[in-house]
């Protein structure tokens, strides 16, 4: 193959937002495949807040990306050469591709083959609503949050990939849903387009009062995506028997200093709150179940999926920063090839 392969390698661990020195763009030959291997042309890359945690010093639920390694990321691609019947040429595959044009897979290092029934969905949907993102909202909201009819559910980062789905799922269960998002445009959008009952603009000076006004009966479920001051204000309004699905703490991902515990932590004890952190990889064996249910609700028009698409391989580093500046609505993906 005459084409070249580009990859972004981690050059240094950033402090704060990633910058021009964080990655190096390297170009080399397209990898050759051996026995039992297949070559994937990566076409779409999922941009996730956790990408930032993977390039820090500290291990998370996965080891840190090492200096010189290709940046780890989820993506979607097509098998273009194969010595493995499990990955035939033309198959669409989804999983950890990394920030690279081409990657080599095998039975020991597989990607999931997208079933024919799902192949017609837009790529951003396969990485979003019908991928890891939708599954995170599904298991976090329905199995940990367990919203019931009439309860008040709060979702932070509500206009983002996971938050948009989590809020809509709570609405499907008959709850009153309040989303927390940055800016009047996003707040109006989650109410008018996604059917949230109310929104709190955490960038407004009076956001604490907005939260009180939007949750007059307290809060029964917190789908927590943000942490920090926003989480603390939500915790302070948790009702007896409330549940917290601790999904993410994005407000701290660019900050190496460890946040102190919420000052209202005693409320969790006094109000017998159940808080459960979760990592979606633990539910991998049940993705099929979630995706079948989510696709059904999408087909019935009961769930809407939104995406922000950035074009071009060279825009990958900047796309990651977009998440921390609130420059995405719904799922953020980068298209790197047709």
- Binding footprint of ligand NAP on the chain (CB under 6 A): 48-50, 133, 136, 157, 159-163, 181-182, 186, 202, 225-226, 230, 247-251, 278-280, 323-324, 326, 328, 332
Name the residue nearer to ligand NAP (CB basis): 33 or 144: 144
Name the residue nearer to ligand NAP (CB basis): 29 or 288: 288
Q: Residue 144 gets which letter from DSSP?
A: I
Q: In angstroms, rounded to a whole number, what is the distance separating the alpha carbons of residues 319 and 328?
A: 9
Q: In angstroms, rounded to a whole number, what is the distance separating the alpha carbons of residues 116 and 152?
A: 39
**Helix count (H) and strand count (E) of the chain?**
10, 15
Helix boundaries (H) for 106-243: 123-127, 132-139, 161-172, 184-192, 207-214, 228-235
Q: Residue 14 gets which letter from DSSP?
A: -
* Least distance (Å) between residue 152 CB and ligand NAP: 20
Whether 250 and 324 have beta carbons less than 8 Å apart is answered as yes
Q: In angstroms, rounded to a whole number, what is the distance separating the alpha carbons of residues 23 and 13?
A: 9
* Least distance (Å) between residue 246 CB and ligand NAP: 8
Q: For residue 74, give the nearest of 124, 37, 120 by alpha carbon.
A: 124
Whether 6 and 97 have beta carbons less than 8 Å apart is answered as no
DSSP conformation letters of 76-94: EEEEEEES-TTS-TT-EEE
Name the residue nearer to ligand NAP (CB basis): 42 or 280: 280
* Least distance (Å) between residue 151 CB and ligand NAP: 21
Name the residue nearer to ligand NAP (CB basis): 3 or 289: 289
* Least distance (Å) between residue 177 CB and ligand NAP: 15
* Least distance (Å) between residue 50 CB and ligand NAP: 5
Torsion sign across C-alpha atoms 50, 56, 58, 63: positive
Name the residue nearer to ligand NAP (CB basis): 145 or 182: 182
* Least distance (Å) between residue 102 CB and ligand NAP: 25
Q: How far is CA 179 from the centre of its chain?
A: 16
**Three-state secondary structure call for residue 54:** helix
* Least distance (Å) between residue 262 CB and ligand NAP: 15
Q: Which residues contact 135 (CB under 8 A, 6 or more apart)?
A: 280, 283, 287, 290, 291, 294
Name the residue nearer to ligand NAP (CB basis): 129 or 162: 162
Whether 163 and 156 have beta carbons less than 8 Å apart is answered as yes
Name the residue nearer to ligand NAP (CB basis): 202 or 313: 202
Name the residue nearer to ligand NAP (CB basis): 41 or 329: 329
* Least distance (Å) between residue 210 CB and ligand NAP: 14
Whether 10 and 73 have beta carbons less than 8 Å apart is answered as no
What dihedral angle (degrees, nearest 10) is formed by the CA atoms of 328, 66, 99, 34? -150
Name the residue nearer to ligand NAP (CB basis): 74 or 114: 74
* Least distance (Å) between residue 4 CB and ligand NAP: 31
């Amino acid at each position: 193959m005459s084409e070249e392969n580009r990859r972004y390698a981690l050059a240094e661990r950033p402090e704060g937002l990633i910058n021009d020195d964080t990655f190096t763009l390297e170009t080399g030959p397209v990898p050759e495949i051996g026995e039992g291997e297949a070559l994937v042309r990566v076409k779409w890359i999922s941009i996730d807040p956790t990408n930032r945690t993977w390039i820090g010093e500290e291990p998370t639920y996965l080891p840190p990306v090492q200096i010189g390694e290709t940046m780890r990321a989820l993506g979607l691609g097509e098998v273009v050469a194969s010595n493995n019947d499990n990955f035939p040429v033309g198959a669409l595959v989804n999983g950890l591709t990394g920030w690279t044009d081409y990657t080599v897979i095998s039975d020991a290092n597989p990607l999931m083959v997208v079933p024919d029934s799902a192949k017609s969905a837009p790529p951003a949907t396969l990485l979003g609503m019908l991928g890891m993102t939708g599954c995170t909202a599904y298991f976090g909201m329905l199995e940990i949050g367990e919203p019931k009819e009439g309860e008040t559910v709060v979702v932070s980062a509500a206009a983002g990939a996971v938050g948009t789905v989590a809020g809509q799922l709570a609405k499907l269960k008959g709850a009153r849903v309040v989303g927390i998002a940055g800016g009047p445009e996003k707040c109006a959008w989650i109410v008018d387009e996604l059917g949230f009952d109310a929104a709190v603009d955490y960038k407004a000076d009076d956001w604490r009062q907005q939260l009180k006004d939007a949750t007059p009966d307290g809060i029964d479920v917190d789908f927590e995506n943000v942490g920090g001051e926003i989480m603390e204000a939500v915790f302070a309004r948790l009702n007896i028997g409330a549940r917290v699905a601790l999904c993410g703490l994005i407000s701290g991902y660019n900050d190496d200093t460890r946040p102190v515990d919420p000052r209202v932590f005693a409320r969790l004890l006094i109000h017998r709150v159940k808080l459960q952190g979760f990592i979606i990889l633990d539910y991998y064996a049940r993705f099929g179940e979630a995706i079948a249910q989510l696709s059904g609700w999408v087909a019935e028009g009961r769930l809407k999926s939104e995406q922000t698409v950035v074009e071009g391989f060279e825009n990958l580093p900047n796309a990651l920063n977009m998440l921390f500046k609130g420059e995405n609505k719904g799922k953020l993906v980068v298209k790197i090839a047709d």
